[in-house]
Each structure stands twice: as structure tokens, then as C-alpha cells.
Amino acid sequence: MSEIEFRSDVTVELVRASANDSDVLFAARVSTQGEQTLESAASGTAADESKDRGLINFLMRDRHGSPFEHNSMTFYVQAPIFVFREFMRHRIASYNEESGRYREMRPVFYVPSEDRNLIQVGKPGAYDFEPGTAEQHKLLQEVIKRESESAYRGYQELLDAGIAREVARSVLPLNLYSSMYVTMNARSLMNFLSLRTKHPESHFPSFPQREIEMVAEKMEQFWVELMPLTAAAFEKNGRVSP
Amino acid sequence: MSEIEFRSDVTVELVRASANDSDVLFAARVSTQGEQTLESAASGTAADESKDRGLINFLMRDRHGSPFEHNSMTFYVQAPIFVFREFMRHRIASYNEESGRYREMRPVFYVPSEDRNLIQVGKPGAYDFEPGTAEQHKLLQEVIKRESESAYRGYQELLDAGIAREVARSVLPLNLYSSMYVTMNARSLMNFLSLRTKHPESHFPSFPQREIEMVAEKMEQFWVELMPLTAAAFEKNGRVSP
Amino acid sequence: MSEIEFRSDVTVELVRASANDSDVLFAARVSTQGEQTLESAASGTAADESKDRGLINFLMRDRHGSPFEHNSMTFYVQAPIFVFREFMRHRIASYNEESGRYREMRPVFYVPSEDRNLIQVGKPGAYDFEPGTAEQHKLLQEVIKRESESAYRGYQELLDAGIAREVARSVLPLNLYSSMYVTMNARSLMNFLSLRTKHPESHFPSFPQREIEMVAEKMEQFWVELMPLTAAAFEKNGRVSP
Amino acid sequence: MSEIEFRSDVTVELVRASANDSDVLFAARVSTQGEQTLESAASGTAADESKDRGLINFLMRDRHGSPFEHNSMTFYVQAPIFVFREFMRHRIASYNEESGRYREMRPVFYVPSEDRNLIQVGKPGAYDFEPGTAEQHKLLQEVIKRESESAYRGYQELLDAGIAREVARSVLPLNLYSSMYVTMNARSLMNFLSLRTKHPESHFPSFPQREIEMVAEKMEQFWVELMPLTAAAFEKNGRVSP
């Protein structure tokens, strides 16, 4: 049996992107000016940049969402299955996930790190989380490791007996890592971020599970680099998706 | 600890439906005839019914898909999580699933019945499945029951220690039952059926996992009752979604 | 040639609906409570109704959008083509429109009524409209009637010469009436209303063209009757789609 | 008044693309192989290329559609409004069109060329088109030019009288050119091509209006350059969208 690995982090890589603020500007100006050259849509001088910033801010504020769709970002994500379960509820995106029917799953499992809050307080719909005690963390590590190892041994036992992968995998737990390729445009990503990050600047409250927020934060870092004016306008306008 | 339950079936209930062949006819005739009354769209005589059947068959054959969208079916489904993982990849549908963050999951687990094929043969993308031996079934039952019980005990241990449900649930396995409320229109349902059932009449081959096919078959039964002409045309035209 | 008709209004009929507040409640409670009966989801007593109202308001406020999707409303709409051009940009909906390829278009044209504001003031993205003068209305009536009649005569001339409908229709103007069958769920309808009505209670500003707003207002009237608690929560929370 | 221009063609420019066969391969191999490097997904040798071709063909044939979604193409299109009306019924795409509310429309109108078939034969749903006579073409040119000029003069008359652009534009005909920015992925494009081109290799019959087919053909030319293996597999498998 392969060595079992435990991780407390998630992986997000930007595989490919065609995403620039100038695409937003170009699309918006097609609506208002008709024919133009791509060059003229991109800013050149400082005065132009201020105008560009203003236009993107206006689009965001008044919820003109469509100009934010003409771009594309593809991420490669590794995270536990319970994160993927939440992620794939976002329907304006394209997914290809590692398949437990086509391949044998590798023994990599998620266990929360010491700084993951463990105690749920507050009421349904507005749960908050507070730090666990050292004993709680110790128990959590023990139980998760024990159950993950046990489940993976069971999985191997079934595979060794010649039982199909798609049947055997049903004993594997939700903290097993999977991987996927996900493609989104900036508008869909902003919707994702508005719901899956908890942020002091947010106009609407969000209560994401910490692990999907870890994925969202890494996606946001890439996006901020690619589309700085759009990201700034998103922040300025309360992180509401247009 | 609650008594652990093992099931080998899935539950599909039709919660609510507004789905009739006459809606298809009405929508199609808006395209071709403009204003009309709803009454005139519905068939009355035998001659009319033959005409209705012909029109629906024509729409299906030539992939005029939009008239099949003006209807709605809501199902309540209980199935193991690995089925829901596949189901929710279908993006033209509405979902509300039981949440492991909001409530404690009940100890109901899936174990394949004796007639579930266990041996995967063929090559990737065209897997076929053959019966398992008695020994394989015995082992499968043992391992699944053992691992399910162990995982659920671990879950309870974490909850008892005051650890948040959303953290504790990560040890639960993919054969745990969940429940959801799913709403689809007939066009989206046909796409689902074309991919998630294996059928001798199918024009395109499909290789669904048996457990999601069990859900699909039950959904199809309800749909055939609601929209018999549409279902007959789907069958007649190779079970290809228009 | 058929008699030319001029109209200043739009038609919206509710063809069929499966849309109730209790569906919202049921879907939301699947998430938080799992299995239940449909009956128990619906309110009975006054205390229950207050609880139902509170739950729907909470869902709306915190943008839990999915429970508002398990319903369906089908409308039959007659409006000028320029309204349909805007309407069909809403992608979470199903459409069947009268086809100028399949049938000869009837000579019904839109002309603004006397109370339609004609003068655009303000700046791009935040245009406001003020009343036109009597002279402007007179000119508008004259020009629209003259051009509509001329275009329809040209259309007939081409049809009479044996030219295909799909070619001949290209001379018809954007104020020609068309008709369609459109199906939406409440979440998509709320998004439509938030963008296509201008309302003092709106949290976000909107600048719809008056004619599509006339359609939206009629749709909203039907919806308020069907889902009063949902509509009240929408209003209370700034007419922001969840 | 600006000089009126008549055109018989459409414009399609590829503004930006992130679309390669290697993205399809990479996404497909995530499903079957899990972690890998992007480099290893791209073919190197002739043997690899044959394997790549085989995998893409298999995905297409067995309708594994999702690997074809991780890419993006943005086109700038100029075409008459009646083409845009059909185009925007395709919902899995992003649009920004020139707005008649924000800007004065330029006087560019479509008139069919001499080789555009004018006579509709066959029955509804399977119309075919045959050449018109010289007289028919002459009449068509006359009527279209006359009505386009008349309508545009009416438009100018209303604008000159201070009437809002969004009101005045309603007299403009469907053969007026508009422009848009449209973004699609390859899967959505294949669906578009399967419905909007008429092709001897097509497994399912299509009956597109010639003018939208002219747009589709130009889009296909760009796509074939970008994703030759995918385009070849599409052709080989009856031009059915996976």
C-alpha cells in the first residue's frame, strides 16, 4: 500500500488565462461607441488610465455585468472532496475532475491545521467559528488519521479482491484530496468570491467554510494580478458581483 | 449513537410538476403560428393527437430543443453522496441539498445489493461490468459495513468533543446518504437521461455508474407518465437530447 | 393588404405557473432539516406564517438564492421587437418566439403613447427621461406611422413577388410586434426585475427602457399574487436578486 | 445626413483567443490520470500526436463534452440585426452589443447579393432555397434600398427634433448593421455550428438562414486554425456537439 499522506493546505495553480482589464474596456466601448480598434481600447497615458479606472468602476457599481465576461481563467485545484462538493454548485464554470471510476485514488487526506477554528458559535446561517483547545486539535488529528487510514485500507482490500474502482471508492471519506481543472470568467469568479470569502469590505455577509475560502483566496491572488483595475473596483464596491 | 442503517436502493419522489405535452405543442406553435389560445394547442380528437405526435416527433428529430423547456419537475432524491457528486455536474438544473454544515448527518449508508455487478471489464471510456462472486459480495458487505460504522463512530466522537459539524463530517464516507430537492425541465432531463442511463435504443453509447442510473430510471418513470408523447419521441429518436 | 394596427401597450399573460412560497420553504428546509413532508413545510398557523416570513426574508437578505429556483412561470408576451432584443439577453430563461421565417408577420406596430417621456437628459449610464412637447409627440406619431406603413408595404411587395419570408422581413422595423412564450423561475425573474424596473425601493439604480419596464411590471403583478412572501422579501431587501 | 451604405457581407474578427487542442487533452487527462504537468499533456512526437488525435476523437464520439470547455474565443461581429436576433438565442455565450440607446446608429444596411437564394421551397422545418430570377433580385434591391433610406431619414428627423435615441431607433429596420463582441468556448461554438451551418457531413439536418451561416462559417475558419484536432474530430463525428 502507498504511503498515506496528510495535508492541511490546498493547491491552486493558474494553468492558463486570457484576462485583462482592457478586454472589459473594449467590450464596454463596443456598446457605447461601436467599431474601434483594440489598441484604442487599451489605455496609454495616465489620463487614459484614470478614465479606464472610472469606466470600470461605473460598470461595477451599476451592475453592467456582461463586459466582465469576455475573459477566461483556468485553474488547477487540489483540495478535499468536501470542498469540491461546494465548489461545483457554481454552475457558470467548466469542470474536469479526477475520476474515481477511471483511476485509483491516491492516499492523500486533509487534516485541519492548528490554526483552523473548530468551535461553531452563533445561529444557523450566520455561524462563526472560534479556536479549539489543544485537546480538541489532538483528538481531531487522531480521529481523522485513524479513520482515513482505515478507510484507505478498506479501499485497497476491495481493489485487491478485484472489485471495480467505482464500487470500492464508496468507502473513501470526504477529506480525500481530489484534483480538477476549472475555467471561469471574471464575472463568475466575482460571484464565487463574494460567496466564498468572508471579508470586512463585503457589502453582503458571507459565511464560507474555511477550506473553500482557502481555495478562493488563492484564486483571487492570481486574478488581482491579471485584472488589477477590475479587482480594485470589485473591492471598492463592496465585493458585490455585478 | 443512533442505529446505523444500510440500504441498497435510492428514493425518488416527484414533489411537484408542471409538465405536459401540450406545453411543448403550444410553445412550438407560437413559433409557427403566433397568437393562439391554450385550448387550441391541446389535442382533442384522434386526428389531432396524431398531428400532435407528429409535431413532437419532428421537434425531437430535428433538434428544436426550446419547446421542451417550458415545463418544470421537482424531485426529492435520497442517494449516496457519490451519486450526488455526479448528478450536480449537470448545470441546467436547480439544487438544494441537505447540508452537513447545518445539521448532523444521519447514519444511513449505501451497500450494493447482490445483483450489482462488481467486476469492471473493457477499456477506459467503455467499461462494462460483470457479476461478482459470492465471496466478493461477502467481502464488500463486510468492508463497507465495517468502514461505515467506524467512520460514523469517529464522526460522533468529534461531535461529542464539541467540534463543529462542518469539520467532523470530513471523516464520513462517500456511501453516506444525502437528500436533495432538484428541479429540471424536460430538455435538461432528456440530456441527463441520455448520459446517465444505458439503453439498447440509445443512438450514442453511455456508460453510467449503476447507482446514478437507478436514480435516472426512477425519474424517467415519473416523466413518462407526465409527458407520454415527448417520452415516446425521445425513445424513437435514439434517446438523443434535442 | 391587411389593415395596419398601431398599439401603445404590451400584453403579458400568465400561461401556466408552479410557483408558491411553500416551495421556497421546503427547499430551504431540505438543506437544514433533511427529510420532511411537503405538508409540514407549508405554514398552517399564524405563528408558522411569521416563521415562514422570517425564513424567506433571511434567505433573501443573505443571498441564499437556490431555494428560489424550484418553481416555474410561463408567460405569453406581445411586445415590439426592440423589447424582445433586450429581453433575450437574459440567459437564465426559456424562449419560443414567433418566427418570421415560418410565418408572415402581421402588421401591428408600436407607437409611444402621449405619456411616454421623449427627452433624454443626464449622462450615459444614468439617462433620465422628460416629457416631450405636443409637437414632438405629433411628429413622432407621424413619422412612426409613415415609416411602419411604408415598410410593411415593401414587405408585402416582396412577398407578392415570391421572395422568401426570411428575406422579405429584413425591411420590417424594430417597432413591429412579435410574441413569445417565456419561462422563468423566481430567482431569474427577480434578477430581471431588478434590472428592468426603476423603483424607489431599489438598492441598486436601474435605467430600463420604458417599454421593457412595462412588460416587467405586468410580470411582477402576476408573480406577487403567486409568491407574496417572496415578493415582500424582495421589496424589503432593496429589490436585489439573491 | 451621413451617406447611406449598403453591404452584402458580414465581418468576423478574432479579437482574442486562448484555445488549443492541448487544453482539451490536459483537461481530459486530469480526469483519468490526476496530477500531471502541462508540458506532458502536449504532444511532442508523431506517436504522441496520433495518441492525442485518438483521445480527442474518443471524447467527441462518446460525448465527453466538458474537456472542450476550458478555452475561450472572443469575436467581433458586424452583421444585420436579424442575424443578431438569432445569434443571441444561444445562451452559453457572452455578449456586448452596440447600443441604440447609448449611441446614434450608423446608416449601414444589408442587401442580399446576387448569389443569395431567394425562393423558399419545401415544407416548414425543412425549407430549402433556390435562386431568384434577375427581376426578383432587381426588385429586392430596389425595395430594400428604398425602405432603408426612408427609415433612416425618419430616424434622423426624430433625432433632429430632440427625441431620444431609444425612441427614434424603433423605426429602423432589421437589416440595419449592428456590432458585437461575443465570447464562446469550443463546446458552445460546436453547438452553434451544428445548428447554424448546413453541411453535407452533418449527422443531423440543419436549416440555418444563410446570413447567420455566413457568420458561422467565418467563425469556424478561425476555430479550425486554433484547434485543428478538435475541428477534425467534430467533422469526423457528424458535426454533432459533444
- List of chains touching C (3+ CB pairs within 8 A): A, B, D
Which residue is it, cell 479501499?
A: A155
Is the sign of the CA dihedral A199, A204, A205, A206 positive or negative? negative
Q: Taking phi first (over 0 means left), then psi (-120 to 50 degrees means alpha), and beta for anything else, what does residue A112 get?
A: beta
- Are the C-beta atoms of residues B216 and B188 closer than 8 Å to each other? no
Give chain B positions within 8 Å (CB) of D207. Answer: 62
A79 pairs with which residues across the strands? A178
Tens of pLDDT along A142-156?
Answer: 999 999 999 999 999
Query: Which chain B residues touch C67 with a CB distance below 8 Å?
Result: 96
Q: Can you give the pLDDT at residue B126?
A: 77
CA separation, residue D82 to residues C100, D86, D154 (Å): 10, 7, 20
Structural domain includes residue D209? yes
**So what's the pLDDT on residue C49?**
86
- pLDDT beyond 60 at C40: no
Distances (CA, A) of A135 to A112, A139, B120: 14, 6, 45
CA distances from C176 to B188, C5, C25 (A): 33, 10, 42
CA dihedral B63, B67, B68, B73 (to 10 degrees): 160
What is C207-229 written as a DSSP string? ---HHHHHHHHHHHHHHHHH-HH
Best CA proximity match to B30, nearest among C84, C2, D207, C190: C84
User: C-alpha distances in angstroms, B183 versus B96, C185, C224?
Assistant: 9, 10, 21
Provide the pLDDT for residue A45: 67
Name the one residue in this structure whose C-alpha cell is 456508460: B207
> How do residues D80-115 score in pLDDT, each as one tens digit?
999 999 999 999 999 999 999 989 999 999 999 999
pLDDT confidence band for C38 (50 / 70 / 90)? very low
Q: Do A143 and B164 touch (CB under 8 A)?
A: no
CA nearest neighbour of D75 among D188, D230, D198, D173: D188
- What's the CA gap between D114 and C80, in Å, rounded? 31
Return the pLDDT at B31: 80
Closest listed residue to residue C81, CA positions, set C188, C169, C168, C185: C169
Average pLDDT over residues A222-242: 96
Distance CA A38, CA A51 (A): 16
Which of D229, D199, D240 is closest to D217 using CA atoms? Answer: D199
Identity of the residue numbered D186: A
Q: What's the pLDDT at D201?
A: 85
B161-182: buried (b, 16+ CB within 10 Å) or exposed (e) per residue?
A: bebbbbbbbbbbbbbbbbbbbb
Chain A residues whose CB is inside 8 A of the C207 CB are 62
* Whether the predicted pLDDT of B30 surpasses 90: no
How far is the C-alpha of A27 from the C-alpha of A41, rounded, in Å?
9
Task: Cell numbers for A114, please give them.
Answer: 492548528
The pLDDT, as a whole number, for residue D38 is 47
pLDDT over 90 at C28, yes or no: yes
Of the candidates D172, D173, D177, D176, the one whose C-alpha atom is nearest the C-alpha of residue D155 is D172
% residues pLDDT > 90 (chain D): 82
Query: For residue D89, how many other CB atoms are within 10 A of its CB?
Result: 15
- B45 band by pLDDT with thresholds 50, 70 and 90: low
Do the Cβ atoms of A73 and A14 come closer than 8 Å?
Answer: yes
Contact A171 B143 (CB under 8 A): yes
User: Contact at 8 Å (CB) between A209 and B166?
Assistant: yes
Active site residues of C: 196
DSSP secondary structure letters along C108-128:
EEE---TTS--EEES-TTS-E
Q: Would C30 be classed as within a structural domain?
A: no
Tally of structural domains, chain C: 1
Per-residue confidence at A49, pLDDT binned at 50, 70, 90? Answer: confident
| B180: enclosing H helix or E strand | strand B177-184
DSSP SS3 for B107: coil
pLDDT at C39 over 60: no
Closest chain D residue to the Cα of C150, Cα to Cα: D147
Do D167 and C95 make contact, defined as CB atoms within 8 angstroms? no
Question: What's the Cα-to-Cα distance from C150 to each of C171, C178, D108, D136, rounded to whole Å?
Answer: 10, 18, 19, 19
Chain A environment of B80 (Cβ under 8 Å) = 170
pLDDT value of position D177: 98
pLDDT digit string (tens) for B98-125? 999 989 999 999 999 999 999 999 887 7
Of B162, B173, B148, B158, give the one whose Cα is nearest residue A142. B158
DSSP for residue C63: T
SS3 breakdown of chain C: % helix, strand, coil, rounded to 5?
Answer: 50, 20, 35
Residue B168 maps to a domain = yes
CA B112/CA B148 separation, integer angstroms: 13
Task: Give the neighbours of chain A: at least 3 Cβ pairs within 8 Å.
Answer: B, C, D
- Mean pLDDT value across chain B: 93
- Among partner residues B18, B28, B98, which is closest to C16 by beta-carbon distance? B18
pLDDT reported for residue B210: 97
C190-215 residues labelled b (16+ CB within 10 A) or e (exposed): bbbbbbbbebeebeeebbbbbbbbbb
Report the distance separating Cα A185 and Cα C57, nearest Å. Answer: 30
B31 in a domain, yes or no? Answer: no
Q: Specify the higher pLDDT residue, D169 or A38.
A: D169
Dump pLDDT digits (tens) for D175-209.
Answer: 999 999 999 999 999 999 999 999 988 998 889 99
Contact C18 B15 (CB under 8 A): no
Q: Is beta strand C5-7 parallel, antiparallel or unpaired with respect to C108-110? A: parallel
pLDDT value of position B127: 81
What's phi and psi for A233, nearest 5 deg? -70, -35
Split at pLDDT 50, 70, 90, the class of C123 is confident
Of A102, A136, A161, the CB nearest to B139: A161
Mean pLDDT over A194-212 rounds to: 93
| Contact at CB, A62 and C32, closer than 8 angstroms | no
Instruction: Give the residue on C whose Cα is nearest the Cα of A126.
Output: C62
CATH number of the structural domain spanning residue C153: 3.30.1360.170
Which residues of D are less than 8 Å from A67 in CB distance?
A: 96
Pairing of strands D5-7, D108-110: parallel
Measured distance CA(D103)–CA(C197) in Å, rounded: 22
- Does residue D53 lie within any of the structural domains? no
Average pLDDT along chain A: 93
Concatenating the DSSP letter of every residue in D90-137 gives: --SSEEEE--TTTSPPP-EEE---TTS--EEES-TTS-EEEPPPHHHH
CB atoms within 10 A of CB D100: 22
In chain C, what percentage of residues exceed pLDDT 90? 83
Cell of C166: 426570411
8 A C-beta contact, residue B175 and residue B85:
no
Contact assessment for residue C111 and residue C7, using Cβ atoms and an 8 Å cutoff: yes
| Rounded (5°) CA angle A4-A7-A10 | 135
Buried b (16+ CB within 10 A) or exposed e, C73-91: bbbbbbbbbbbbbbbbebb
**Cα Rg of chain B (Å, integer):** 22
Euclidean distance between CA atoms D28 and A98, whole angstroms: 9
Mean pLDDT of A60-81: 97
- Per the structure block, which three cell numbers stand in for C123? 449622462
Domain presence at residue C113: yes
Span B187-207, pLDDT tens digits: 999 999 999 999 988 998 889
Q: How many CB atoms lie within 10 A of CB C4?
A: 14
Count of CB pairs separated by less than 8 Å, A with D: 104
Across chain A, how many H-helices and E-strands are there? 9, 8
The per-residue pLDDT for range A11-27, each reduced to its tens digit, is 999 999 999 999 999 99
Domain that holds residue A82: 5-17+72-213
Can you tell me the ipTM of this complex? 0.93
Task: Report the residue from B58, B195, B205 with minimal CB separation from D125.
Answer: B58
Does C166 fall in a domain? yes
The C-alpha atoms of residue C230 and residue C152 are separated, in whole angstroms, by: 44
Task: Name which of B5, B14, B16 to mutate to probe chain C: the one with the most chain C Cβ atoms within 10 A of its Cβ.
Answer: B16
Residue of C nearest to A61 (CA): C204
How many Cα atoms are found within 13 Å in the side-chain-facing hemisphere of C139?
Answer: 19
The C-alpha atoms of residue A90 and residue A208 are separated, in whole angstroms, by 14
Contact B98 C34 (CB under 8 A): yes
Instruction: Report d(CA C232, CA C60) in Å as an integer.
Output: 10
Tell me: pLDDT of A36 over 90. Answer: no
B200 Cβ contact list (under 8 Å, min separation 6): none
Q: Which residues pair with D184 in a beta bridge?
A: D73
Q: Is residue A220 part of a domain?
A: no
Residue B91 class from Cβ within 10 Å (0-12 exposed, 13-18 middle, 19+ buried)?
Answer: middle
